[in-house]
Amino acid sequence: MRTLRSGDHGADVGLLQSRLIRAGYTLDATHLYDDATETAVKALQVKTGLVDDGVAGPKTLAVLATGKRDPKHLADADIVKAADTLGVPVVLVRTVNEVESLGSGFLPDGRPKILFERHVFWKRLHARGIDPAPLAVKYPNIVSQKYGGYMGNAAEYTRLARAELIDAGAAYESASWGAFQVMGNNWGRLKYSSIDDFVSRMENSEGDQLEAFVRYVAADKRLLAALKAREWAVFAERYNGTNYARNLYDAKLARAYLKYAGAEAAA
């Protein structure tokens, strides 16, 4: 099933509603993701310790089927801990989590999501005393001074594996990892003991992936200040890069914040 949220309609919504009804939640199978459906989803998420965002994604559907949360999945307690660490309201971490994490930090096969950056690999090889130029001629899909070459999802691990054969450490540093896509080359600045330590944490859980995000924000005073001030365009530019507007990151953050702030005020 696709990820479902308020306002969606169709057979998938009806199936979700039927499953919620069988699980004991009170609602009608209207095939519209209405307030009653969102309330039931949030109740399920609270009961099982998931982030209670009212969105029925893969993790929510999994706990609906099994009755318990996978320890690798993000817990609401992780959100609260992150907010405490950064010294910001919980609603701000919920906002960023919804927009940046895209619902999961892992592929269906259990490996953390990654995106291999060939232009970063060029730089990391050079930093390690390896001339990237001849390698770029042989392997332009993994070594280049330009962005690109992306294959997406599990296929990114094919690119990573090829890069590992050249230099494993540089390869790991050249990928962004997990739900919040923190680049591996930040491991030292974020006070991980090594790139291997960073990768093992990203493989461990979404809670560890959120901690990497927290460390990243805490290490950038301007980024943290933008988060605290709800300056979404500034935050998006510093976190997502100068092309943030093309993907409407600032607008998505602003919209998510209004949703969570409104829900908090109504509670």
- Domain total in the chain: 1
Residue 186 domain flag: no
What would the mean pLDDT of 176-197 be, rounded to a whole number? 96
- Residue 267 has a pLDDT of 59
Residue 41 domain flag: yes
Which residues does residue 32 pair with via DSSP β-bridges, in sequence order?
Answer: 9
Residue 117 domain flag: no
Residue 138 domain flag: no
H-state helical runs in the chain: 11-22, 35-48, 58-66, 76-86, 90-101, 118-127, 132-138, 155-164, 168-173, 195-204, 206-218, 221-228, 232-240, 249-266
Residue 22 domain flag: yes
Kindly report the CATH number assigned to the domain that includes residue 51: 1.10.101.10
- Residue 3 has a pLDDT of 87
Residue 33 domain flag: yes
Q: Which domain holds residue 1?
A: 1-70
Residue 245 domain flag: no
Residue 152 domain flag: no
- Residue 259 has a pLDDT of 85
Residue 58 has pLDDT above 80, yes or no: yes
Which residues does residue 75 pair with via DSSP β-bridges, in sequence order?
Answer: 50
pLDDT digits (tens, 9 = 90+) for 118-160: 999 999 999 999 999 999 999 999 999 999 999 999 999 999 9
Please count the CA atoms within 13 angstroms of the CA of 98 that sit on its side-chain side: 24
pLDDT digits (tens, 9 = 90+) for 203-256: 999 999 999 999 999 999 999 999 999 999 999 999 988 888 888 999 999 999
What pTM value is reported for the model? 0.81
